[in-house]
């Protein structure tokens, strides 16, 4: 594995875009439906340790973006074949094929609703697609 082809600014940007999408996704876009699906009230949300939640979220999103970058650029011979469009496609496959489906399996055993699965699964599909786009386009 080789890390010299990784653009660290792109990894940071991909991390931040995931955070920004989450702000919109779980706020104005699907916030109320998501809170219903998880059984959370406004009061529960306000009582959360937001510094810890946001801080750890950023760390986790950085790890995700870095791992996706390693898939793209870990093999120097293949690194030149990555671009924005296939980066987005590979990101989509990651979000849909691995993350959303794994989340769906867990949610079924936890007896969560299809609304829960859709909101959370589609969030990760969008995030990984955009992460892949950024990492593929910004070499």
HEC assignment per residue over 85-134: HHHHHHHHHHHHHHHHHHHHHHHHHCCCCHHHHHHHHHHHHHHHHHHHHH
| Domain-located, residue 90 | yes
pLDDT of residue 2 exceeding 80, the answer is no
Confidence of residue 139 (pLDDT cuts 50, 70, 90): confident
Residue 2 lies in a domain: no
For residue 100, tell me if it sits in a domain. Answer: yes
pLDDT value of residue 54: 93
Q: Which domain holds residue 130?
A: 8-137
Q: Which helix (H) or strand (E) holds 56?
A: helix 50-73
Mean pLDDT of the chain: 95
Q: Give every CB contact of residue 39 below 8 A, 6+ residues apart in sequence.
A: none
User: Contact 58/19 with Cβ under 8 angstroms?
Assistant: yes
Q: Is residue 41 part of a domain?
A: yes
The average pLDDT across 32-38 equals: 96
Count the domains in the chain.
1
Q: pLDDT tens digits, residue range 20-32?
A: 999 999 999 999 9
pLDDT for position 76: 81
Q: Is residue 3 part of a domain?
A: no
What per-residue confidence (pLDDT) applies to 88? Answer: 98
Q: What is the pTM of this model?
A: 0.94
Q: Over 90: is that where the pLDDT of 4 sits?
A: no
Say if 13 falls within a structural domain: yes
For residue 33, the SS3 value is helix
pLDDT per position as a tens digit, 66-103: 999 999 998 888 888 999 999 999 999 999 999 999 99
Is the pLDDT higher at 117 or at 3?
Answer: 117
Token pair for 134: 């950024």
31 phi and psi angles, rounded to 5 deg: -55, -50
Is residue 44 assigned to a domain?
yes
Span 119-124, average pLDDT: 98
Q: What is the pLDDT of residue 1?
A: 73
Residue 122: inside a domain = yes
Per-residue pLDDT at 5 exceeds 90 = no
């Amino acid at each position: 594995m080789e890390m010299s082809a990784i653009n660290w600014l792109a990894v940071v940007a991909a991390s931040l875009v995931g955070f920004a999408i989450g702000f919109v996704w779980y706020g104005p876009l699907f916030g109320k439906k998501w809170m219903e699906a998880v059984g959370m009230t406004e009061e529960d949300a306000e009582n959360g340790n937001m510094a810890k939640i946001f801080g750890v979220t950023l760390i986790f999103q950085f790890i995700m973006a870095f791992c996706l970058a390693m898939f793209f650029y870990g093999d120097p011979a293949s690194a030149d074949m990555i671009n924005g469009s296939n980066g987005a496609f590979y990101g989509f496959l990651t979000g849909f094929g691995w993350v959303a489906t794994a989340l769906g399996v867990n949610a079924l055993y936890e007896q969560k609703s299809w609304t829960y699965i859709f909101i959370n699964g589609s969030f990760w599909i969008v995030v990984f697609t955009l992460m892949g786009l950024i990492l593929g386009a910004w070499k």
